[in-house]
Structures are given as structure tokens and as C-alpha cells.
Chain A
């Protein structure tokens, strides 16, 4: 048998991908180089792993080492989620694959003046108007909170949904009301693709500007910019129908919205735009430092992907 040449896998750009896929009940493995879900009775489904932004693994899945390796090589984020997408645990790609981006993000977050600029930019993009002058981050967050509650109420009214407040109990998922369940399922979809984008761009999910102290603080910051144009109206619209299977309906609708609004293509440019509001440049390589001994491979993917 002739030696077959080694062909490295190249990650695709986020904008060229499908948003997400939820997998449950089955073994996820690699067979003949392909990423497969093996269900009961040997039923096999090929998952086009490289063309998906993130794979949400629901309860009942087992992933093999080879599958995780393949997902990593093609830059696809694996997210371990609980029932109906309520986040339990996540991994797949460590954050901050690019030290220049990470240091840039950290510098913006550490300096109060720069952080305020970034937060003001987020506010401006979300509400379509400049943030009131001379407000601290704390005050802006208060204004934002009030506006968000108001937006929830307005949208609930528009779709005819009874809305008390955003509330859920992750230990007692079934006790949440239908609108809150829909909202959790919808935001889970958005957080998944946002985390994939943050990582792909080479930033750290934990270093937030408005949110702080959570593993996904920055993901929440960025997702909030998109939330009320994409997934929140979907959640209310589905909740109003009170369907038999709200999670599935929500995911279908989220997929449509992400496609219609071209969300995957927008997230990374939006991250760059928001961080650029700090008006500083990512750090240059210090003259005394050394580049990697073996230069990194040319990539057709995103900066944060660990391309071979």
C-alpha cells in the first residue's frame, strides 16, 4: 500500500458555518475520519463537524478522545449543556489563544477609563444612542437594567405573554414558567455561538466589561448586544404559542433568525468594534522576546483557532 500523504485539517471562518447542533443520547466518535453520532441499534449519523460553529452536547452523550481531537482541529466548540440547553459545563477550546488579543482585552478591562469607553460603546450599540455623559459603569448598568426590564415587558405585551420576571431555577428546570423556559433555551443558543466566536477571535470569555466574575462574563457582554434583536423576541413568540415541545421550537426559530440576520458573520466584527472604542492598539511584540521556533501554519480560519 502506498503511503498516503498527511493532509492537515483547516478550520473554517465563523461566517462560513452553520450555527449549532444539539446532540443527545449516543456515542460520539470518529469512524473512517468522520465525526459520527452512534445511536441505539448501530444507527450512525455523520455530523459535518467542521461546518458548525458549536456542538451542544446534551445529557446522554459520550464523546471519545478522537472526537474531541477532531473537533479541536477544525476549531469547532464543544459545549456540554444540561437539559434544554441550560448550561452545565463547557469546554473544547481554552480561551485566549492569542496573547496579543488577550493582553489587549485585559488592558481595556483593567483600566477604569478604558473600560468605561468600552461599556459606553456597548450601550450605544444596544440602544442606538450615545450613553448619557458622565456616568460611571455602575450607573450605566443601572440604566441598562431598567431599560432591559422595560424591553422584556414591551415584548411580552407585544406577543401576548404573561411575563413576571426573568427567573429560573437550574436545579428545578421543570418548575420554571414557559416564557422563562423559552428564554433560557433561546439564550443558550446565543451564548453557544457567541462563545465560539469569542474563542475563535482569540479573546478570553471570562474577561468581561459589564459582567464580571463568571467564566463567560465577556460572552454575556457580547451576547447582550444581539439578544434583544434575535433570541428574546423568538422566546416570547414561541411562548405565546405554548407549544408541546418549546425547546425544539425555540432552536428552530433561533436557527432561522441567525441565518436571516447573518449573526455568525456579525459577532467577531462587533467584538472588534466594541473593543476598538478603547482607542488603544493591541500590544506589539517586545523586541527582546522570541517568536515560536517553528512558525505557525498558514490559516484560512479565525485568529484564535489552533490551526495546524
Chain B
């Protein structure tokens, strides 16, 4: 069993309701829970299949050096990057935008 956090953006209401079956919605689109690996994978499958045009990130506690790992589905300007085994997130500006 390990702690899991799911953050959803722009996902259909049927997935929001579905996630609330196993996890606690602490803020709009932010779900927290303590689940086993099997349950986590089952939840992730639901996420990927019901995601539609939205995007989701799931993070969970595990035995990596940082103590957690995460995965994403859907399009988001924040993308995971691997820095020699340490996973971080890069923020990409929108195409054509000279963002600050």
C-alpha cells in the first residue's frame, strides 16, 4: 500500500465521479488515497480510458531515490523529463508564444 495523488484537468464528469469511488477529492480535480499497486494500476487504466481531451497526472510513493514516481496522460505543457534517472518536469511555452 502506498499513497497516491491524482490531479485531473479538463476530464469528463464521468471520470471525476469514477475516481471519487476510490479516492478522496480534496480540491477540484485533486484526488488522494492510499492504495495497493494493483488498485493503482486499475485506477490508472480507468484514467487513460476515460480521459478524453483532458489530461491527468498520477503520483505515488515508491522505492525510488526521490521516494515517489509519477505518470501522465493527455496533453499538458508540463512534460516529464529524465535527468540521469531523476524524474523532473519541464514547462514548455506554447508554440509561437514568447512566454516569460
Contact = CB atoms under 8 A, between A and B. Distances in A.
3 closest residue pairs by CB, A with B: A251-B84, A252-B85, A45-B90
Contacts of A19: 65
A180 B64 CA distance: 28
A138 to B, nearest CB: 39
Contact of A43 (B63, B64, B91): B91
Contact of A248 (B63, B81, B84, B89): B84
A42 interface: yes
Interface string B64-100: 1110000000000000010111101111110000111
Given A46-B88, A256-B85, 14 more contacts: A18-B65, A18-B66, A22-B83, A39-B90, A42-B100, A43-B91, A43-B93, A45-B83, A46-B91, A48-B88, A251-B84, A251-B85, A252-B84, A255-B86
Q: Looking at chain A's contact residues, is the secondary structure mostly helix, strand, loop, or mixed?
A: mixed
Contacts, number: 50
Interface in A238-282: 248, 251-252, 255-256, 258-259
B51 to A, nearest CB: 24
A103 B81 CA distance: 44
A303 interface: no
Contacts of A255: 65, 84-86
Contacts of B88: 45-48
A50 to B, nearest CB: 13
A21 B84 contact: yes
Interface residues on B, range: 10 to 19
B92 A43 contact: yes
B83 A258 contact: no
A106 B37 CA distance: 52
Contact of B93 (A22, A23, A42): A42
B90 A44 contact: yes
A258 B64 CA distance: 11
Contacts of A21: 83-84, 86
27 contacts: A18-B65, A18-B66, A21-B83, A21-B84, A21-B86, A22-B84, A39-B90, A42-B93, A42-B100, A43-B93, A44-B91, A45-B83, A45-B88, A45-B89, A45-B91, A46-B88, A46-B89, A47-B88, A48-B88, A248-B84, A251-B85, A255-B84, A255-B85, A256-B65, A256-B85, A258-B65, A259-B65
B88 to A, nearest CB: 5
